[in-house]
Structure 1
Amino acid sequence: MKQLISLNISGNEFGDEEAKLISEMKQLTSLDISGNRIGDEGAKYLSEMKQLISLNIGENEIGDEGAKLISETRQLASLNICFTQIGIEEAKLISEMRQLTSLNISDNRICVEGAKWISEMRQLTSLDISGNRIGDEGAKTISEMKQLTSLDISYNRIGDEGAKFISEMKQLISLNIRGNRIGDEGVKYISEMKQLTSLTYKGLN
């Protein structure tokens, strides 16, 4: 299928051998291979696809070494690496991908220290960092990313203080802050973000 430039092959229980076969499709520019059983070896094959500009490798078993290999793919503009159990060190490696404009690193283990590394990615315009337990301190760090227009910071144990920091991100037009520990004061801060065109805050408690 030499004419394909975009391929979604998610949720097929593919492993490293299938990843090797997919990596031979040198014409692909967009690949969604999430929800499979790809490990470090498969990540190595995928990292050799130098023509890709968009990659979704979330919900796989790539491990620390796999994350390191993916971080070396410097041509990517969009990366989804959610649910891969990566931590602070891997977040540091991902933060060095200065060509990325869109990053989904949700539901991992990067915590506050990892959020600090991610906040240095000043070229990002879209960030999903949900489900990483970054708390108010992490929210403060992320709020310094003044170039972001889309942010998902849900399920991160953020309280009223964190909500205040996020409310100062006047460039945001899309915000998901649901599932945090925000009270009435925090909701008031968020409600003052008049520039938002999309807001999700259901489930605040």
Structure 2
Amino acid sequence: MTMKKMWVWMLLTLFALVGEWHGTCYGFLEEERIGLLEIKSSFDPNGFTLRDWVDTSNESISNCCEWARIECDNTTRRVIQLNLWDVRDVSLGDLVLNASLFLPFKELRSLDLSNNAIVGCHEIQGVKVLSSRLTKLENLDLSGNPYNDSIFSSLTGFTSLKSLDLSYNELTGSSVGLIGLRKLEVLSLNELTIIGSTLLQSLGALPSLKILSLKDNNLSSTSISQG
């Protein structure tokens, strides 16, 4: 290949890349950009909190990794952390979560959904659908939502989890507990009303558990005597 042809090839390649990135987020996977905008539509439809999460399809090139509450891998530019704590206006009412919104983020390491009035998940698009896709998720915060004990069975597939926060929910631990989380090292169960021993007994099946927080819990005599 002559030097002239090589330069032409390099320029065409550069133009192709510019054309691909123009109107999207520089160096950012398109399906993740779309996924973020769908999350915003679900959690913050009025755009009060996620105001810098904007559709750049008709705007100049921007960097989605610089959006608030997002952290990307420095090399791959894939999203590795989403901090969505207290994003929703709770006056809008409770939210039934469509967990499939998070499926595009296959490299996600940390997900914070605390204080969003999430009462549960759609049966088909629930938390269970995530466990087979978010195989690298290590930190999950679901605190400050009115979840009930049904959330426990949805968490069993997150075998990569190292930290889990279920504080300030409506969990009683009366009939189900936590199983399958063999890598879990940190568990927060603060300010719950534990009326049964099932949850406390299940903690013995978490071989990697190093830190357990049970602050301000209302433990019934049943859970203590049988736990």
Name the TM-score class by shorter chain.
Answer: 0.5 to 0.7
Is 1:129 aligned to residue 156 of structure 2?
A: no
The 3 A distance-change label for structure 1 pair 150 and 56 is same
Q: Does the Cα contact within 8 Å between 2:162 and 2:185 map onto a contact in 1?
A: yes
SS in 1 for 2:193: coil
The 3 A distance-change label for structure 1 pair 145 and 80 is same
CA distance in 1, matches of 2:177, 2:200: 12
CA distance in 1, matches of 2:160, 2:208: 14
2:121 to 65, 88, 92: 88
CA distance in 2, matches of 1:160, 1:31: 41
2:101 to 56, 63, 69: 69
Partner of 1:193: none
Partner of 1:42: none
The 3 A distance-change label for structure 1 pair 141 and 65 is closer
CA distance in 1, matches of 2:88, 2:99: 10
Question: Where do 1:18-97 residues align within 5 Å?
Answer: 18-20=52-54, 24-28=62-66, 32=69, 51-61=78-88, 63-64=95-96, 67-86=99-118, 87-89=120-122, 90-96=126-132, 97=134
CA distance in 2, matches of 1:189, 1:172: 21
Partner of 2:151: 114
Aligned-pair CA distance for 1:129: 1.4
Overall identity of the aligned pairs, in %:
19
The 3 A distance-change label for structure 1 pair 31 and 51 is farther
Q: Does the Cα contact within 8 Å between 2:163 and 2:187 map onto a contact in 1?
A: yes
CA distance in 2, matches of 1:92, 1:54: 19
CA distance in 2, matches of 1:95, 1:111: 19
Q: Does the Cα contact within 8 Å between 1:77 and 1:101 map onto a contact in 2?
A: yes
Is 1:141 aligned to residue 177 of structure 2?
A: yes
CA distance in 2, matches of 1:186, 1:135: 10
The 3 A distance-change label for structure 1 pair 16 and 178 is closer
The 3 A distance-change label for structure 1 pair 136 and 65 is closer
Aligned-pair CA distance for 1:83: 1.2
Partner of 1:104: 141
The 3 A distance-change label for structure 1 pair 152 and 71 is farther
Amino acid at match of 1:57: L
Amino acid at match of 1:54: Q
Q: Over the residues paired in the alignment, what is the CA RMSD in angstroms? A: 3.7
* Matched residues, number: 162
Please list every run of 5 or more consecutive structure 1 residues that lacks an aligned counterpart in the other structure.
3-12, 34-49, 191-205
TM-score (norm 2): 0.56
CA distance in 2, matches of 1:172, 1:149: 4
Aligned-pair CA distance for 1:173: 1.2
CA distance in 2, matches of 1:157, 1:179: 9
Aligned-pair CA distance for 1:68: 3.7
